[in-house]
Structure 1
């Protein structure tokens, strides 16, 4: 196949979830898509913490057991060095392997004993992780019955074959259209070069921006302007986090850390006119959601709830787990959404820049139509908006 770019990199996470959501709901065993370099492209069903944080050298790279099998082109089921059952199935187009469907990462009843033979102290020395975290991640590893493992193997095989078919059809279509689009391609490339030359002076390198902010923060430090220094560092962290516009899911903990920095900046601005509390149970902080989900709702509460009040108000953020669902609530004691703003938000076809509809749509694309945002209250005593999503990446609506 004559291609310089792996078509797997162009797969849209939301489309893949939507395409296979029906069969993915049949299993809660890890399943992910990797390329031939071992980079994880999509996590359809997340891996356990032990595999993600202990075995992998980095969050987006598979562990050495998978890497060695990719290098030797050994596919199928296998048992890793810690006794976990795994699977690696190729995605092929025109006899060329573009990537793999992988996963499982559970114990069988025959291999479960190896779970209790893992040397925790050695892992601590290798990874610098806390002993308590390592022990908890090992204890949370699942043991699965043979029939469920067989079902998951069939599920992986089905997804691998269907992605291969989809990519084959796409490649055949592209190859037949190459000649027809070659002239247009040359014209567009020339236009792009011209535009890049004209707009190069307008491009700001993010690293330049962060370095500049840090330099200003150091000046504030030496001038003993500690509040200014802290604000600049918070702003730098916010910008860096906001630039993480990828398809990877982020932990609730990282989202909340971002919110705390945002509210710290606003607290300096509003002083006594703004109070806030954040109560998120530790047990749900490790669950993952798309990034920048909570921030737009908090911002709406600040703009439409707190800002219009002369004496300001309070924003409360709290979460709970209920029947395999996570519900995060953002409440304020402001005046509620203005009537015209509320009407805009509630119009599903509206494409307003409020961020509410866009955030709700992102959640529905990831988890299904029964998840997302809901305005459960909006009156003169304040507003409450809830964010609902399942504990697994694919919901069961």
Structure 2
């Protein structure tokens, strides 16, 4: 299986699992859901919660207008990489939610068949104009419309936007997990081939190195995304979903960066934007107990480094150092350039590390493997070592009960 292959939706997700999730969401919200691949072919036998009006229209002379609305919305969602909210030709409110993995558009979820208050309805674009002659072609359609339009689920625009973004996060998270499983399977296949190959095959080794990089980075993302979804749920319960759309927006920005970035090397500025979105979400967990300072030397912003190598260290400082500390504390993140070296420092006044844990991590200076070191720190050091080689160095100081300082030094390489 080639690592450059463009996967189909059927390669990376279980349709049965996805249908079960969408059915439950549809039953809770009263909104319809329909999953299609990137060619517009429906992937479920039955649409979930289709309104009788919409079901009848799709099998009438107006059906081509329904298909036209679906096609336009799907293209717009794929182009923008985010949910597209619109009115169909009969005035129902719908959303097109794209599923994108590594920049490849694999499919779409159509959800909605709802109605809004007139004030909110006027804010949305009607992407396909209605057929004014339709009621004369089939008079019973007008009667059907009058009878069933009021039965469409009434929602606020804010809640509908939040639901569309939540559906986007869940669907793309499931797709990412499926993609990660494929990468891990490929990694195993490459390792077996290397063991069986007597002669050194440089192309095979390059493929193995790239897959290892993707696999290590894939381990970092799902754990954080899953915890964030839980945070969204708790926040919604506590405040009636007032702040939830903001959290979802920040998470969507992170997820889009994760899924769209086929190139595994970013600028420091791009990595910082990811960290800022991450810190915005974490603020809803720490709730003002942690004071965060971010100092960045602008002359290093165009330098490069492997994707998602700093966030795990920031997460480690917050999750294990500061969050468990009742009174909170301070977190300082700095990027400073001096000549051809960029020094990155993450320092916290949290709980610090037990001596045994610190000793285990410091063994990474002389060995690639340790017994108990965390996945996040282990992966960061291995990725930076693989990419920068001898030009990379690091240091870790921690006093149990007082705090931790992690220092990384990488060469400044302009992207």
Q: TM-score, normalised by structure 2?
A: 0.40
Q: TM-score, normalised by structure 1?
A: 0.42
